[in-house]
């Protein structure tokens, strides 16, 4: 039965743009607090309006500065902007210094902006899952655009595709050799390339190189990522960067891209959530269940290889899935 319950008051407060309630709810989501669930559930039908744009790239290339510059462009047009800045957690202390916010200068009390810093600390289901939920809350809060800044080394940058409809990859000229040795991965991530710090020498060369690379083959969807040069210190190229983002969004709307992307993301999210829980359950069974423990023991004393052990476990569990 899907009996209609009254909306939790927090859900109504978020829609009424109560900033403290939103901020607390984000903390609950970050901390895996189960009390957030009914609120998220009530808010979900009110999401889907915001466009989520990823800004990713190596350390220090100027991602936050670009976010700040884009914020200026968007606020001047009256667009409401949510921002999520993700920074790595120190593996040693579990603490972190979250510094993306330092680059943001905005009018005090501007209600059309909500910036949240997030540490990549051990989120259940991974940082991408939490980021997606937080972006959704900003969407329900009434933001038109959610910018997600992530550092592009490791998992997060690849996972940005699972959250954002447009991903901007930020590079700088003096990555010179870097640009040429770019992991193929970046080309799969990028819907738009930015060469930031174009006030420094080498920007034209880097842009040309990237353009040649992207021209080699449009992606499977038929989109060729444009390459935009920017300088946040000179305030140059920012409008062009946003135009490129809008062009990609328009491209998605003009063909099957939007629907395909949304379906792929929804599928991935469901698969992640369910496999996450199955994984936890299985891990528990390896502890509790005698037969599974025996198989584990055989792997440990090398009388059985992990592949065969897994095949057996899968075969035993399959009919229950």
Name the site residues for ligand GTP (rule: CB under 6 A): 59-65, 100, 103, 151, 196-197, 199-200, 231-233
Q: What is the dihedral of CA 164, 67, 30, 102, to 10 degrees?
A: 170
Nearer to Mg ion, 64 or 130 (CB): 64
Alpha-carbon distance 132 to 52, whole Å? 9
Shortest CB 276 distance to other proteins, Å? 9
CA angle 177, 160, 24 (to 5 degrees): 130
Give the span between the Cα atoms of 194 and 311, in whole angstroms. 46
Q: Count how many residues are written for the chain.
A: 321
Q: Does 19 bind other proteins (CB under 8 A)?
A: yes
Residue whose CB is less far from ligand GTP, 60 or 297? 60
Least Cβ distance, residue 98 to Mg ion (angstroms): 9
Out of 41, 124, 154, 204, the only residue in the binding site for other proteins (CB under 8 A) is: 124
CB of residue 15 to Mg ion, shortest distance in Å: 30
Q: Of the two residues 24 and 258, which places its CB atom closer to other proteins in the complex?
A: 24
141 closest CA partner among 318, 18, 298, 253: 18
Q: Does 194 bind Mg ion (CB under 5 A)?
A: no
- Find the binder of Mg ion among 10, 30, 100, 191 (CB under 5 A): 100
- Its sign, for the CA torsion 28, 32, 34, 38, is positive
Contact 205, 175 (CB under 8 A): no
Nearest-5° Cα angle at 33, 48 to 50: 15
Q: Quick one: which segment of 24-32, 177-185, 217-225, 258-266 binds other proteins (CB under 8 A)?
A: 24-32
The correct pick among 16, 37, 41, 97 for binding other proteins (CB under 8 A) is 97
Shortest gap between Cβ of 200 and other proteins (angstroms)? 23
**307-311-317 Cα angle (round to 5):** 140
- The structure tokens 């929804």 sit at 266
Collect all residues with Cβ–Cβ distance below 8 Å to 271 and sequence separation of at least 6: none
Query: What is residue 108's DSSP assignment?
Result: T
- Which partner, Mg ion, other proteins, ligand GTP, none, binds residue 101 by CB below 5 to 8 Å per kind? other proteins
DSSP 173: G
Alpha-carbon distance 245 to 307, whole Å?
Answer: 45
Nearer to ligand GTP, 165 or 231 (CB): 231
Residue from 42, 43, 54, 64 in contact with Mg ion (CB under 5 A): 64
Question: What is d(CA 57, CA 36) in angstroms, rounded to the nearest whole number?
Answer: 31
**Min. distance of Cβ 249 from other proteins in angstroms?**
26
Name which of Mg ion, ligand GTP, other proteins, none residue 122 binds, using a CB cut-off of 5 to 8 Å depending on partner kind: other proteins
Positions touching other proteins (CB under 8 A) are: 19-20, 23-24, 26-27, 30-31, 90, 92-99, 101-102, 105-106, 108-110, 114-117, 119, 121-122, 124, 279-280, 283-284
């Amino acid at each position: 039965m899907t009996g209609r319950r009254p909306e939790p008051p927090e859900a109504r407060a978020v829609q009424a743009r109560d900033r403290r309630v939103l901020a607390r709810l984000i903390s609950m989501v970050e901390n895996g607090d189960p009390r957030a669930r009914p609120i998220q559930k009530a808010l979900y039908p009110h999401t889907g309006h915001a466009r989520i744009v990823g800004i990713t790239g190596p350390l220090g290339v100027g991602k936050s500065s670009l976010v700040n510059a884009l914020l200026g462009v968007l606020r001047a047009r009256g667009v409401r902007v949510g921002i999520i800045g993700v920074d790595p957690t120190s593996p040693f202390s579990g603490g972190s210094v979250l510094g993306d916010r330092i680059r943001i200068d905005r009018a005090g009390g501007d209600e059309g902006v909500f910036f949240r810093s997030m540490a990549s600390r051990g989120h259940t289901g991974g940082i991408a899952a939490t980021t997606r939920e937080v972006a959704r809350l900003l969407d329900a809060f009434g933001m038109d655009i959610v910018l997600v800044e992530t550092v592009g080394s490791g998992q997060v940058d690849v996972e940005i595709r699972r959250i954002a409809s447009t991903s901007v990859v930020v590079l700088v000229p003096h990555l010179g050799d870097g640009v040429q040795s770019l992991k193929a991965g970046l080309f799969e991530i990028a819907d738009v390339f930015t060469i930031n710090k174009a006030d420094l020498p080498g920007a034209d060369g880097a842009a040309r190189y990237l353009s040649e690379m992207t021209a080699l083959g449009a992606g499977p969807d038929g989109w060729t990522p444009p390459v935009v040069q920017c300088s946040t210190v000179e305030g140059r190229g920012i409008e062009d960067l946003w135009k490129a983002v809008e062009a990609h969004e328009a491209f998605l709307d003009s063909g099957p891209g939007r629907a395909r992307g949304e379906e792929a993301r929804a599928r991935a999210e469901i698969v992640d959530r369910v496999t996450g829980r199955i994984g936890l359950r299985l891990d528990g069974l390896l502890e509790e269940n005698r037969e599974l423990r025996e198989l584990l023991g055989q792997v440990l004393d090398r009388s059985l290889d992990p592949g065969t052990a897994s095949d057996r476990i899968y075969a035993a569990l399959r009919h229950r899935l």
